[in-house]
Amino acid sequence: MLTIFDRIISGDLPASFVHQDSHCVSFMDINPISSGHVLVVPRLSVATLDALPPEICAHLWRTAQRIGAAQRIGLGSAAQHLLINDGKAASQSVPHVHIHVVPRYRGDTLRTLGRMLWHVTTLTLPRPERIIPRQRLDAQAAAIATALQGT
């Protein structure tokens, strides 16, 4: 069965792309934990990290490393969390491997960590939705993509 990320990769659903190559794509999370939150997703559609060939896994992490640097340059973030919910019991909601690259900004502890906690806690309550206008996601993606060229 196709995941929502398969449909984004195929162009069937819209996304604000930061980067694409032969192994993976990166785009803005539609419900960000913090402003500028990016997902790094392999083209290979597998649910968990242990199903990913090692070279693709290494490439995914290298891409996440570069995205973090590009967020700091392009968005002015100070640091980032790299997070994987690796399986349903670990709060994974989309069964297609993805690394969350979540920027941290100075003084954002309460705002960001509250949302982060919700993201990794397996609760029956729905996650709070934060709908960001597409135009804003596109602008963030463009800023990160430009900075990525220098990494």
Q: Which residues bind ligand DGP (CB under 6 A)?
A: 4, 13, 15, 27-31, 85, 91-94
Question: Which of residues 70 and 102 has its CB atom nearest to ligand DGP in the complex?
Answer: 102
CA-to-CA distance for 67 and 78, rounded, in angstroms?
13
What is the CA 82 to chain-centroid distance, rounded?
Answer: 9
Active site includes 100? no
CA-to-CA distance for 75 and 56, rounded, in angstroms?
27
| Residue 59: CB minimum distance to ligand DGP, A | 19
CA-to-CA distance for 124 and 137, rounded, in angstroms?
28
Q: Which of 59, 98, 100, 119 is catalytic?
A: 98
Question: Which of residues 80 and 92 has its CB atom nearest to ligand DGP in the complex?
Answer: 92
Question: Which of residues 65 and 91 has its CB atom nearest to ligand DGP in the complex?
Answer: 91
CA-to-CA distance for 21 and 4, rounded, in angstroms?
19
Residues designated catalytic: 98
